[in-house]
Amino acid sequence: MNTLLIHDDDQGIRTITLNRPEALNAVTEEMTTELSAALKEAAKTKSVRCLVLTGAGRAFCVGQDLKTLRDSAEKGTPMDFAAALRQRYNPIIERLADMPMPVLASVNGVAAGAGWSLALAADLRIASDKASFVSAFSKIGLIPDSGMTQTLTRLVGPSRALEIAWLSDGMSAEHARQWGLVNQVVEDARLGEATTELARRLAASATKALVMTRRAVRAALGNDLPAQLEYEAQLQGAAGATRDHQEGVAAFLGKRAAVFTGE
Ligand code: T3D
């Protein structure tokens, strides 16, 4: 991989690091190809029980590489935005939203444009106190993409989503936390440790139940109560048939810590 670093620890955490620090991890075609493949691979690796997405250097990711965008336009082969989204960006966002394990974005620095969209596509976000967020799309005459119009709106509501998208003002990590866009903000020097701590808790959990919980929580935004109750019943039927459920009950009754395997 030229644009990513991939690391597995011995406790079920796979970390994918966007690795173009010299370009603030701006997204190129190669990066989307590699990220797509890396997510596909992680999804089919049973030992991966929590996926962490982070960036190398001082940025998380600043979205589409605008230099390659300019270069292609100068060469007379301007980027086909709709095709780029359909073929390269959107499949990544859809895959991230449906990974068979929790996905945690560890936001180490600035997240801009589709870089912020990537962080928003994760289940949870932990950020360095030095991180910042900027939509940036409006500054180059584009609309927020890679899912941001949905993820952002669901988290902060339409009025704040428009304020963020239209004005493209930078937002501090603390501001993002107050608006519910980030779950935790930690001192920059502690980001690695705090990310590992949270990722280990998630990796040691009953993975299938976590993933079904994600589905139920997402569906809740569109369902009426009877539909949501029915969906919960269906998912609970599946959760109740997992080994991890049996282990959880046995551990509780045996007054010991549960050892979940993700099965
Ligand atoms: O297919 C499609 O539909 C297209 C998909 C589009 C998705 C998108 O992501 S569009 C949005 C693209 N991203 C942006 O517009 C962000 C542009 N960058 C910025 O606004 C700022 O750089 C930041 C707020 C992110 C960071 O500011 P700061 O002050 O910390 O750094 P800087 O000085 O602006 O940038 C440092 C360098 O990184 C600089 O290069 P230089 O002068 O040192 O050679 C800058 O040009 C470069 N850089 C920053 N962002 C990008 C970038 N180079 C290429 N692409 C970038 N996105």
Q: Where are the alpha helices (DSSP H) in the chain?
A: 29-43, 66-74, 81-84, 90-97, 114-121, 148-156, 158-167, 173-178, 191-203, 207-220, 225-239, 243-253
Contact 18, 30 (CB under 8 A): no
Atom in ligand 1 nearest the alpha carbon of residue 84: 1
Mean pLDDT calculated for residue range 39-59: 98
Atom in ligand 1 nearest the alpha carbon of residue 24: 38
pLDDT over 90 at 94, yes or no = yes
Atom in ligand 1 nearest the alpha carbon of residue 58: 30
Report helix angle 114-121 to 148-156, nearest 10.
60
Closest CA to 63 of 1, 121, 182, 145: 145
Mean pLDDT calculated for residue range 55-68: 97
Ligand 1 binding site (Cβ under 6 Å of any ligand atom): 23-24, 26, 62-67, 79, 81, 84-85, 110, 112-114, 134, 136-137, 140, 142, 145
Note the pLDDT of residue 157: 97
- Decide: residue 214, CB within 10 A, 0-12 exposed, 13-18 middle, 19+ buried: middle
Residue 14, φ and ψ in degrees, nearest 5? -105, 130
- Ligand 1 pocket test: which of 24, 138, 164 has the largest number of ligand atoms within 8 Å of its C-beta? 24
Rounded Cα distance, 35 and 27, in Å: 10
Rounded Cα distance, 49 and 74, in Å: 44
Per-residue confidence at 1, pLDDT binned at 50, 70, 90?
confident
**What dihedral angle (degrees, nearest 10) is formed by the CA atoms of 228, 234, 235, 238?**
170
Q: What is the DSSP letter of 101?
A: S
Note the pLDDT of residue 115: 98
pLDDT digit string, tens, across residues 182-221 = 999 999 999 999 999 999 999 999 999 999 999 999 999 9
Tell how far the Cα of 143 is from the centroid of ligand 1, in angstroms. 16
pLDDT over 90 at 173, yes or no = yes
Q: Work out the angle at residue 47's Cα, subtended by the Cα atoms of residues 43 and 49, and round it to the nearest 5 degrees.
A: 70
Residue 102, φ and ψ in degrees, nearest 5? -65, 145
Tell how far the Cα of 55 is from the centroid of ligand 1, in angstroms. 14
pLDDT digit string, tens, across residues 224-252 = 999 999 999 999 999 999 999 999 999 99
pTM: 0.97
pLDDT over 90 at 121, yes or no = yes
pLDDT digit string, tens, across residues 124-134 = 999 999 999 99
Tell how far the Cα of 64 is from the centroid of ligand 1, in angstroms. 8
Tell how far the Cα of 174 is from the centroid of ligand 1, in angstroms. 22
Residue nearest to atom 28 of ligand 1 (CA): 110
Edge-to-edge strand list for the sheet holding 132-134:
59-61, 110-112, 132-134, 171-172
**What dihedral angle (degrees, nearest 10) is formed by the CA atoms of 257, 258, 259, 261?**
-160
Atom in ligand 1 nearest the alpha carbon of residue 139: 15
186 DSSP β-pair partners: 128
